[in-house]
């Protein structure tokens, strides 16, 4: 087996260390309606299409109960739309600050291209959001060969496989066994599994860890190890085939798989 195509996620994998832009926007949108999600509740559906993310949060037991306590009845589809309508402008207003490539990403992408491997990408962001992020990431040195957003596949983003398959169609990849999906959320692993390709979870910079660079650096090694063990378990439970600490390990992993 040799890898000829990789599919990278964006926030938390290649840009936006810790995937903080969407977290802040989701929490702001919910608070506008008097609902106060925790960071863990906010991150749990990360990687899904953003309206689906809102729906998943509102379906959680605690937040669903908080909504009923606040409004006297369970949330409806119109309520999901209302929260999403608060979320979208909140995110759009800050995205330009979160398009810096993560450490090692530019070097790794260069190495992978030298190996003759094509680089596709999928995201939970809408096309409007990526129209902000992608050009700024390109200015900062990072651009994949192709990008697919949920609306490009009729809204069937993660955990459906269609964004990966659309990449493969565009990039001319004929064999799913030659594809590696890389991401930082459980939804990324589910997407890869559904598509039938190998999947890799990344720890450093990920939404699964949910830590900034300074927060991660401040931890003792023993605490890091504890968090890494938990994150690995979440990735593998969601369908990951491999978990690596840093994107810097990706070229070696690709070589090992092909060896």
Residue 144: what are its φ and ψ, rounded to 5°? -75, 175
Among candidate residues 9, 16, 184, 188, the one labeled active-site is 9
- The answer to whether 182 and 8 have CB atoms below 8 angstroms apart is yes
Question: How many of the other CB atoms lie within 10 Å of CB of 56?
Answer: 17
Q: Which of 134, 151, 57 is nearest to 99 (CA)?
A: 134
DSSP state letters, the chain:
----EEEE-SBTTTBSTT-HHHHHHHHHHHHTTT----HHHHHTTTTS-HHHHHHHHHHSHHHHHHHHHHHSS---HHHHHHHHHHHHHHHHTTGGGS-PBPTTHHHHHHHHHHTT-EEEEB-SS-HHHHHHHHHHHHHTT---S--B-GGGGTT--TTSSHHHHHHHHHHT---GGGEEEEESSHHHHHHHHHHTSEEEEE-TT-TTTT--HHHHHHS-HHHHHHHHHHHHHHHHHTT-SEEES-GGGHHHHHHHHH-
9 assigned to active site: yes
As given in the structure block, the two tokens for residue 142 are: 């990072």
Residues classed as catalytic? 9, 50
């Amino acid at each position: 087996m040799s890898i000829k195509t990789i599919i990278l996620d964006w926030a938390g994998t290649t840009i936006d260390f810790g995937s903080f832009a969407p977290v802040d926007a989701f929490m702001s949108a919910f608070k506008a309606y008097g609902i106060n999600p925790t960071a863990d509740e906010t991150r749990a559906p990360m990687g899904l299409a953003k309206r689906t993310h809102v729906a998943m949060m509102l379906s959680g037991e605690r937040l669903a109960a908080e909504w009923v306590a606040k409004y006297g009845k369970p949330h409806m589809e119109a309520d999901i739309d209302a929260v999403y309508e608060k979320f979208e402008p909140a995110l759009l207003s800050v995205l330009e600050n979160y398009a810096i490539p993560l450490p090692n990403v530019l070097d790794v992408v260069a190495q992978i291209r030298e190996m003759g491997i094509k680089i596709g990408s999928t995201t939970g962001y809408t096309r409007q959001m990526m129209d902000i992020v992608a050009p700024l990431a390109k200015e900062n040195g990072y651009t994949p060969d192709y990008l697919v957003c949920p609306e490009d596949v009729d809204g069937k983003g993660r955990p459906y496989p269609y964004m990966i398959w659309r990449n493969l169609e565009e990039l001319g990849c004929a064999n799913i066994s030659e594809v590696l999906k890389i991401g930082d959320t459980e939804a990324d692993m589910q997407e890869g599994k559904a598509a039938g390709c190998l999947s890799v979870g990344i720890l450093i910079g990920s939404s699964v860890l949910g830590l900034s660079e300074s927060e991660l650096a401040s931890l003792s090694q023993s605490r890091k190890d504890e968090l890494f063990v938990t994150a690995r378990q979440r990735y593998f439970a969601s369908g990951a085939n491999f978990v690596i600490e840093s994107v810097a390990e990706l070229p070696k992993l690709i070589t090992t798989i092909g060896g």
